[in-house]
Structures are given as structure tokens and as C-alpha cells.
């Protein structure tokens, strides 16, 4: 009997390209996830082809992201960025481009489809039916979960998305959950069959995000060596809660006015989502709180530069209202900087409360101010958390993530075929 193995994965990422800079527009942790996993799968001998939307006329149809990893730009709608609510109208065109690509090859060219976010899942659903291969889907975020804990100024996710997610859950051969908590949400909120849900923790690039001398990092970034640096990294939108950090910083200065000469509140990221409707919201909030002199806004940046910011920080603050995992928290810890994070979603897995950082219940600025003040008043405790953070983050490498995903792909293929499979060596 002939034997098969996982040779090639079709990765679907409709609404954001893996080539985009994380922290801009809709690019974020999902982009990092797709890129890092693809590279590690290629190291395992699994070719990855990533389908994403063509957003500029000068983009080549195919780009090699890394050896064994191709990015295919599919024409679907205008050559420009579109809001997520505009993309469902382009799914038919996107699917057509994906199917045309596969039609150029012999049947069975792709062994498995891995779709990311519900829009991609809709495309993966139909491609799965056409190609007769298994569909593996990662939600990244879920409408029902987001709607349970909306930030002020955020809009509920529409019913169309909820229905679309339910459909993808019903048809996917495997659903990838970042944590046990997310797996439980898929089962309880979406009725996913437990045997089709696989928990695969995301990772961190341990070669880029690693400990370094704080003073040197501050020198390179133009920060005083004695500064108290509160760092926020992420897209500027209500969901991520940067306003909570600013309000907490104001409370900190009320409690300890002597901090003003040393406090630096840095927000690294670009506008996204509901934040696009209020581009000056953070600046105006800082002015209204009387803290504009201590707030520093930085644009999204490459990972190597971001690592310096983590090393320079006193504490990284992650006040999100919802996170499927929280890669920022893990990146910071890998650099030796503890984290103050909201006790929500995957952050409860990414941060070990009281050991590598602190988890804060709710989003009351007073609670956050008290939590953050402790980092300024107990440097020895802060350093102890930082040392434990490095050890904790070292357990989450992307190679382990890719290896586990390869096992999930193989399992889905076994169920989808009467032919036995051999795992990649």
C-alpha cells in the first residue's frame, strides 16, 4: 500500500498579510503566529503556502517569505486595505483565486488547510470540500467571548460573525485552541466536539527576545537610567485597554508626586479597529489627565527594536479586555521584564500570577495603579519576578508549537484518509 506524509500546508489568512508589520492596522499576534509557525514547519520539511489578499498593485503574485514558505497574494476586491466588515463581500473572489492556484497542480497538491480567523475559515471550509483534505482552524479571537467583556467605546461583534464562526466550528476537522481555557470556550460557547479540539500553546522567538542589560537598552532608547518605564505594546484600540494604563499612571502620580520626574509611559503601536475612529483619543486623554509630559508614543517596530523596549521597561502592562493568549506578555518575560496583565483569557496562562508578574482583576484604574506602584517600590521583588519570567518564557518556543501542529495535521489526515501516514522526521 502506498504511504503518504504531510508535505504541504495551505495556510489561509484573508484579512491580514504575514508580511505586514505587527502593530499596524489589523496586523498583530496572529501575523507573528503565522510567520513563526510557517518557518518552523519548513524546518521540519513541511512546505507552507500562505494565501492572503492582494492589497497593493506593486505586490508580486508570489513572495518567498523564507525557504519552504511562500506567500501568495490573491486578487479579491480593490488594491487597498479593507476594514474587516468589508471583507465578507470579497470571500467569493478570494476563494476563486485559491482554487485556481490548486487547479494548476496535480490533485492532492495540498495535504491540509490551516485557516486563521473566521473569515479565512469560510474560505477553508469550501476549499476543504473541493479538495477532499482536512481543515484545521485557529480562531485567534471569538465573537462570543469578546461580546462578554466589551471595552468602553467598543462595538459588539456582529451576528454575521457569530454565525460564520459557528459554521466553521461545525465543519473543521480540528480546532486549535491556544490554551485549555480557550478550548473550554469553544466547547461551551460554540458546541465544538471535544475530540476535535487540540490545545497548542503559541510560542516566542527566543533568539530575538532574550535578556539584556537594562541600562544599555535605556541608553539606546534615550531613556534616563533611573526612569520608571511603564510599557504598553499593541494595537491602539479599546480592546487592548491603553486608556487603562494612562488612567492608572495619573493615579500613581496622585499617590506619589515624586514619581513625575522619572515616570515614562510608553505606548508602542498603531491605530486599529475602533481606535481608527478616534485617532487623537490617547493624546486627548493624556492631556485631560495632566500627564502628557510623561507619555511617549512610538510607532510599531521590528522585533529586534521591540526587544530593546522590553529590556528597558520596569514592567510591561497588558490591560486587555480579551486575549486568546497574549504574545506581548510572553515576549516581555523572555527579555526578563515582568508583566502586569489583566486576568482574562490566555493571559492567565502566559503570566504566572505572583511568580513572573501579576494578574489584575477588572480594569479599575485604582487597582492598576496600586499594582504598578509595587513595581516601583519593591525593586528586589521586581527583579525576582524577572528572573522567573525568563525561565517561564523559555518553555514556549515556536519549534515546539510547530511540532505539535504537525502532529495535529497528521491526526486530521489519518481520519480523512484510508491511507496510513508517516510523520515528518
Q: Is 53 annotated as a binding residue?
A: no
Q: Is 331 annotated as a binding residue?
A: yes
Q: Is 322 annotated as a binding residue?
A: no
Q: Is 310 annotated as a binding residue?
A: yes
Q: Is 409 annotated as a binding residue?
A: no
- Helix (H) or strand (E) segment spanning residue 368: helix 365-377
Q: Is 58 annotated as a binding residue?
A: no
- Of 57, 36, 39, nearest to 48 by C-alpha is 39
Q: Is 266 annotated as a binding residue?
A: no
Taking a C-beta distance cutoff of 8 angstroms, is the pair 212, 219 a contact? no
Taking a C-beta distance cutoff of 8 angstroms, is the pair 230, 63 a contact? no
What order do you get walking across the sheet with 8-12 strand by strand?
A: 62-66, 69-74, 47-53, 8-12, 112-116, 135-138, 174-177, 197-199
- State the cell numbers at 247: 488612567
| Burial of 2 from C-beta contacts in 10 A (0-12 / 13-18 / 19+) | exposed
- Of 161, 84, 85, nearest to 122 by C-alpha is 161
Q: Is 141 annotated as a binding residue?
A: yes
Q: Is 418 annotated as a binding residue?
A: no
Count CB atoms within 10 A of the CB of residue 4: 15
Question: Which residue intervals of 204-324 are DSSP H helices?
Answer: 214-221, 242-255, 281-289, 303-312
Q: Is 240 annotated as a binding residue?
A: yes
Q: Is 337 annotated as a binding residue?
A: yes
Q: Is 21 annotated as a binding residue?
A: yes
Q: Is 84 annotated as a binding residue?
A: yes
Q: Is 137 annotated as a binding residue?
A: no
Q: Is 31 annotated as a binding residue?
A: yes
Q: Is 301 annotated as a binding residue?
A: yes
Q: Is 27 annotated as a binding residue?
A: yes
Question: Does residue 47 come out as left (phi exceeding 0), alpha (psi in the -120 to 50 range) or beta?
Answer: beta
Taking a C-beta distance cutoff of 8 angstroms, is the pair 281, 238 a contact? no
Q: Is 284 annotated as a binding residue?
A: no
At 9, is the secondary structure helix, strand, or coil? strand
Alpha carbon distance 425, 423 (integer Å): 6
Q: Is 235 annotated as a binding residue?
A: yes
- Of 59, 57, 49, 54, nearest to 15 by C-alpha is 54
What residues form the annotated binding site for UDP-N-acetyl-alpha-D-glucosamine? Answer: 21-22, 29, 235, 240, 301, 323, 331
As annotated, the binding site for 1D-myo-inositol 3-phosphate includes 15, 26-31, 84, 117, 141, 161
Binding residues: 15, 21-22, 26-31, 84, 117, 141, 161, 235, 240, 301, 310-311, 313, 323, 331, 337
Amino acid at each position: 500500500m502506498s504511504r503518504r506524509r504531510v508535505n504541504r500546508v495551505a495556510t489561509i489568512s484573508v484579512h491580514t498579510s504575514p508580511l505586514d508589520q505587527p502593530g499596524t492596522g489589523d496586523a498583530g499576534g496572529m501575523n507573528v503566529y503565522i510567520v513563526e509557525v510557517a518557518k518552523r514547519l519548513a524546518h521540519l520539511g513541511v512546505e507552507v503556502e500562505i494565501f492572503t489578499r492582494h492589497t497593493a498593485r506593486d505586490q508580486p503574485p508570489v513572495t518567498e517569505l523564507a525557504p519552504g514558505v511562500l506567500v501568495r497574494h490573491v486578487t479579491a476586491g480593490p488594491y487597498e486595505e479593507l476594514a474587516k466588515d468589508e471583507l465578507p463581500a470579497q470571500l467569493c473572489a478570494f476563494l476563486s483565486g485559491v482554487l485556481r492556484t490548486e487547479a494548476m497542480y496535480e490533485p492532492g497538491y495540498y495535504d491540509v488547510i490551516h485557516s486563521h480567523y473566521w473569515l479565512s475559515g469560510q474560505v477553508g471550509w469550501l476549499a476543504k470540500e473541493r479538495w477532499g483534505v482536512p481543515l484545521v482552524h485557529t480562531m485567534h479571537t471569538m465573537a462570543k467571548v469578546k461580546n462578554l467583556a466589551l471595552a468602553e467605546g467598543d462595538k459588539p461583534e456582529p451576528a454575521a460573525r457569530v454565525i460564520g464562526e459557528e459554521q466553521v466550528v461545525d465543519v473543521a476537522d480540528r480546532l486549535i485552541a491556544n490554551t485549555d481555557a480557550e478550548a473550554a470556550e469553544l466547547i461551551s460557547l460554540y458546541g465544538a466536539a471535544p475530540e476535535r479540539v487540540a490545545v497548542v500553546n503559541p510560542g516566542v522567538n527566543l533568539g530575538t527576545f532574550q535578556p539584556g542589560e537594562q541600562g544599555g537598552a535605556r541608553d539606546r532608547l534615550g531613556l534616563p537610567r533611573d526612569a520608571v518605564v511603564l510599557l504598553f505594546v499593541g494595537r491602539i484600540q479599546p480592546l487592548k485597554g491603553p486608556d487603562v494604563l494612562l488612567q492608572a499612571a495619573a493615579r500613581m502620580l496622585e499617590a506619589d508626586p515624586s514619581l513625575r520626574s522619572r515616570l515614562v509611559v510608553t505606548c508602542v503601536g498603531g491605530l486599529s479597529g475602533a481606535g481608527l475612529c478616534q485617532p487623537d483619543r490617547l493624546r486627548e486623554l493624556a492631556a485631560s489627565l495632566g500627564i502628557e509630559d510623561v507619555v511617549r508614543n512610538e510607532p510599531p517596530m521590528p522585533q529586534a527594536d521591540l526587544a530593546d523596549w522590553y529590556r528597558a521597561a520596569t514592567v510591561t502592562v497588558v490591560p486587555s479586555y480579551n486575549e486568546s493568549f497574549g504574545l506581548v506578555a510572553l515576549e516581555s518575560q523572555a527579555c526578563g521584564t515582568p508583566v502586569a496583565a489583566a486576568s482574562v483569557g490566555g493571559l492567565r496562562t502566559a503570566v504566572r500570577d505572583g511568580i513572573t508578574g501579576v494578574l489584575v482583576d477588572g480594569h479599575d484604574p485604582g487597582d492598576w495603579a496600586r499594582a504598578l506602584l509595587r513595581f516601583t517600590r519593591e525593586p528586589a521583588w521586581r527583579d525576582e519576578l524577572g528572573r522567573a519570567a525568563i525561565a517561564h518564557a523559555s518553555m514556549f518556543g515556536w519549534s515546539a508549537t510547530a511540532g505539535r501542529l504537525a502532529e495535529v495535521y497528521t491526526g486530521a489526515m489519518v481520519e480523512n484518509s484510508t491511507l496510513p501516514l508517516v510523520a515528518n522526521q
